[in-house]
Structure 1
């Protein structure tokens, strides 16, 4: 995956949990995909708030930063859980597709009775916004945040 510089910020739709880091925020999810580590919720809850915050703010852009982030995370998971972190299979980075809006995003918009995104709207979003919409459109994520994200991003 190509590393894209992304500033650390949290979305408003995450505001109900980001102060306690009860759930994994999108910025950390993005970095996990970037460094190829799958962090499970039972592993996440064993980390301190300070460690979770560190995972949000540590840089993960250049190849050296990605390698350092990966090593830090692997060491942290081993120290807190007693087992090695799981590796992610290669990630299909649908948020990097710029010639069309991914079908999964369009389907989720229809499911929530929102207007489908135009290509122009999709292209106006930054990488982390597109990442969030793709992740929120996949199964296993709390659906109520998808329309909230669309509104927050100015496309819903």
Structure 2
């Protein structure tokens, strides 16, 4: 008997960019970390493991998705909140990563080579205008999904959802 997977707590959440293709993000029967949270984790320099994420309660996961990070104070608060959750549930220290001060998704005047390669591989194309018109999180998502070792089956779904194919 096939297990019925309930929709995530993010599907109808107001105030965040959450994508339909993310409903397919499952690993070991655990719903994966949404792109909006991954985006924020990169901004605050924390790598969150799926095993850690799975221990957080629904309220905490939603809080991580909706908590805004518009300035350095908010980034600091987000960082500390996430570090606290990891410590609370795992008794481990958070995995700290370097924060990229010039992330590739912020570059509007060129499409990154890794993305060009993925597009070429799938016989797809994005104009520089289309790239510029995407939101920050959409550009982030496309770059994340085209990296080697990532589950690339969601890349074409994201392209379609973003109106690019």
Does structure 1 conserve the Cα–Cα contact (< 8 Å) formed by 2:17 and 2:137?
A: no
Say which SS state the counterpart of residue 15 (structure 1) adopts: helix
My pick for the range that moved more, 143-152 or 91-100, is 91-100
What TM-score comes out, normalization by structure 2 length? 0.83
- Counterpart of 1:33 (choices 42, 60, 63) is 42
Structure 1 residue ranges without an equivalent (≥5): 1-6
Moved over 3 A (4+): none
Q: Check whether the contact 1:114–1:147 (CA below 8 A) recurs between aligned residues.
A: no
| 2:83 corresponds to | 74
- Which secondary structure does the structure 1 equivalent of 2:24 belong to? coil
| Cα pair 2:44 2:99 within 8 Å, conserved | no
Deviation at 1:96, TM superposition (A): 0.6
Which residue matches 2:113? 103
Q: CA deviation at 1:17?
A: 4.6
Please report how far the alpha carbon of residue 21 of structure 1 lies from its aligned counterpart in structure 2 after TM superposition. Answer: 7.1
Structure with bigger gyration radius: 2
What CA distance in whole angstroms lies between the structure 2 residues aligned with 1:22 and 1:61? Answer: 27
Write the distance in 2 (CA, Å) between the matches of 1:78 and 1:61: 25
- Structure 1 residue aligned with 2:19: 11
Q: Relative to structure 1, is the Cα distance of residues 101 and 146 closer, same or farther in structure 2, using a 3 angstrom cutoff?
A: same
Counterpart of 1:56 in 2: which secondary structure? helix
Q: What is the CA deviation profile of residues 97-128 of structure 1, one whole-angstrom value per residue up to 9, with x for unaligned ones?
A: 111111111111122x2322111111111111
Which deviates more from structure 2 when the two are superposed, residues 83-92 or residues 102-111? Answer: 83-92
How many residues are treated as equivalent by the alignment?
Answer: 148
Of 125, 131, 143, which residue of structure 2 is paired with 1:134? 143
- Runs of 5+ in structure 2 lacking a partner? 1-14
Residue 46 of structure 1 corresponds to 55
* In 1, Cα distance between equivalents of 2:140 and 2:16: 14
